[in-house]
Structure 1
């Protein structure tokens, strides 16, 4: 164990959070997928749990690999990712697999797995924005040199994602605005980006292929009493799970609502956590994400380079905003969306992209630790002389 710990760098608290969330994920997914496995006539271990555990282990391995790579390399990688991402988003809208009137998935050749291109787009846009904001600091107020390229990248990615996945697009847009604020973009220019995003939002909401879905979800959230039971089915059973969990929960594997909720292992995994582990379990999970945000903010404040600070800030904001959006939906504070709980919800490629984000944050943290060690050594030399 000591040998493994010696080879891992970066914030130890973040490593602990990764391990704890991964263990929680395996426990909850095992419980919440048992009904689905029974319906398919296959043991849960063979059908879903084994696959999920494999992805969790691969994810941890990717975190380890990503954290070993110097985070400065991700500046160059971000350019390649953006070149790949925008055509891939367009391809997904035209040729992607259509589920619930939304083309979000593309199939990976040879291996047959599908992935949401928005997961790649989040990683690409955040790393690209961190790079652009760092490189343009000297002329950050210049509209032609800095503002237009930055605004263009944000708006193009936003509208391409929003066309099929509004919730993810809105969260990514919010993270982008936070990065622009940290990157010293003027308030006037930020307001222009917000105005542009609002216009694009209206365009997609009223003219996009999912406009009826968006309208229905908002109406269901605002006026649930006017809707039929089919439209409020998921949120109703999520609330039942929350109410029946009590303080200490029903215990691992004893959930009843997993038999009714369509996606208890992904979209409503937080409801399953509270039903089986109670309010205490829910508070623990919430606290883990809050500690993650706190540790990442410490990394941001101590990072010696602007790129590292912006990179850690953007990725940590993205992960925590996504986490609390998922939990908000489960407790009825927001309309139903398909946003997973990072590192907890069952998922294949989405889990891997989340793992890469954690690995990059740890890479920045590793650099912070190394710089702190150098300062300590340098500071000791005069005293020893």
Structure 2
């Protein structure tokens, strides 16, 4: 254990944030899984232990990924893109359908499933960071730089949006932020946004979940006219938040946990506010804001463009997802299936989030250890990145 602690590097504040989120996650999930345990006919403790195992496994993956030099992820990004696009296609056709959406692929022999969009987020962000950093000399060249970038963004966006619109929109927004940081021209960014808007319009009106998307938007825009069955989730989330008051009802004393669907996942922020009040909700928001602040510091100090873009993309993805989840809970957006990073109960989504944290820590580890930046090592890593 001492050896492991001695080998922990990177921004210590981010490690502290991960520990705090882990503790909040265990307390919140334990409060929210009563109904789920009843439906499954098992004890809440057994579900909690599985969740804790995922947290521990995630921290283990975070430790491993933070020990890997972040420049190795440049070469890995190409392989990830080659794997991700066929997996997204496979998921769209043969994936397990849950809540009318094909987002999951079963992992044979484990009883687990994972959302291919989680892998796609890592793949696209690392690929964009690699491409933008390598094409800086001819970044405005349409054939060599713009077409590969636009193709990657639009293809991944379309494949994810077919069954998971909220994740696709957030990933598209992160991609646009990376394009701006990567000095892509305003005209080219406008073309990418236009292409995304066309794809979005087509999927909303002609995609397999067009009815679901329209119903959610109409319920959000006109809640007074909405069907009570359609607004059930958002209504009870608002009741949970309103009944929390300033200091909340106390841990484990939520009443709306018995009514809210996915209280342990999509709507866990509403349960947190109900039990810990406005103070608890503000504290959680502050933790994510502080995470973004620490990540921005890493981005500004990163000596290489790839590291800066990589840390920026992953941190934007995590924080945008967090605030999107909380915005839905308080009624600032239509209902989505977006979990709260590192807090919501989830299997492989927790693991992929942990890897993202680990990669950010890998970038910060390089900043803290300037002795690593030697000519020989740069050449060695550069050779791998060209594989």
What band does the TM-score fall into relative to the shorter chain?
Answer: over 0.9
Deviation at 1:39, TM superposition (A): 3.5
Aligned to 1:29: 29
Aligned to 1:16: 16
1:291, 1:153 → 2: CA distance? Answer: 31
Aligned to 2:144: 145
* Residue 303 of structure 2 is aligned to residue 304 of structure 1: yes
2:364, 2:191 → 1: CA distance? Answer: 33
Aligned to 1:350: 349
Q: How does 1:60-99 map to 2 (within 5 A)?
A: 60-99=59-98
* Residue 42 of structure 2 is aligned to residue 42 of structure 1: yes
Aligned to 2:328: 329
2:67, 2:3 → 1: CA distance? Answer: 16
Aligned to 2:262: 263
Aligned to 1:156: 155
CA contact (8 A) 1:141 1:185 kept: yes
Deviation at 1:42, TM superposition (A): 1.7
RMSD over equivalenced CA pairs, Å:
1.4
Evaluate the alpha carbon distance shift between residue 4 and residue 283 of structure 1 in structure 2; reply closer, same or farther with a 3 A threshold.
farther
The DSSP-based 3-state class of the residue aligned with 1:333 is coil
- Spell out, residue by residue over 1:50-106, the C-alpha distance to the aligned partner (whole angstroms, 9 max, x if none): 110000000001100000000000001111100000000000001001122211111
- Spell out, residue by residue over 1:207-248, the C-alpha distance to the aligned partner (whole angstroms, 9 max, x if none): 100111110000000001111211111011101100111111
CA contact (8 A) 1:101 1:209 kept: no
- Matched residue pairs, number? 374
The DSSP-based 3-state class of the residue aligned with 1:106 is strand
CA contact (8 A) 1:97 1:104 kept: yes
2:4, 2:280 → 1: CA distance? Answer: 29
* Length-normalised TM-score, structure 2: 0.95
1:186, 1:355 → 2: CA distance? Answer: 33
Evaluate the alpha carbon distance shift between residue 182 and residue 4 of structure 1 in structure 2; reply closer, same or farther with a 3 A threshold.
same
- Spell out, residue by residue over 1:356-381, the C-alpha distance to the aligned partner (whole angstroms, 9 max, x if none): 00000000000011128989xxxxxx
CA contact (8 A) 1:242 1:271 kept: yes
Deviation at 1:2, TM superposition (A): 6.6
In structure 1, list runs of 5 or more residues that go unmatched. Answer: 376-385
1:260, 1:121 → 2: CA distance? Answer: 33
The DSSP-based 3-state class of the residue aligned with 1:38 is helix
Aligned to 2:282: 283
Evaluate the alpha carbon distance shift between residue 100 and residue 39 of structure 1 in structure 2; reply closer, same or farther with a 3 A threshold.
closer
Aligned to 2:124: 125
- Spell out, residue by residue over 1:184-214, the C-alpha distance to the aligned partner (whole angstroms, 9 max, x if none): 0001100010011111111111110011111
- Spell out, residue by residue over 1:109-148, the C-alpha distance to the aligned partner (whole angstroms, 9 max, x if none): 2223111000000000000000000111110000000000
Evaluate the alpha carbon distance shift between residue 39 and residue 164 of structure 1 in structure 2; reply closer, same or farther with a 3 A threshold.
closer
Evaluate the alpha carbon distance shift between residue 117 and residue 139 of structure 1 in structure 2; reply closer, same or farther with a 3 A threshold.
same
1:40, 1:276 → 2: CA distance? Answer: 24
1:100, 1:184 → 2: CA distance? Answer: 40
Aligned to 1:245: 244
The DSSP-based 3-state class of the residue aligned with 2:369 is helix
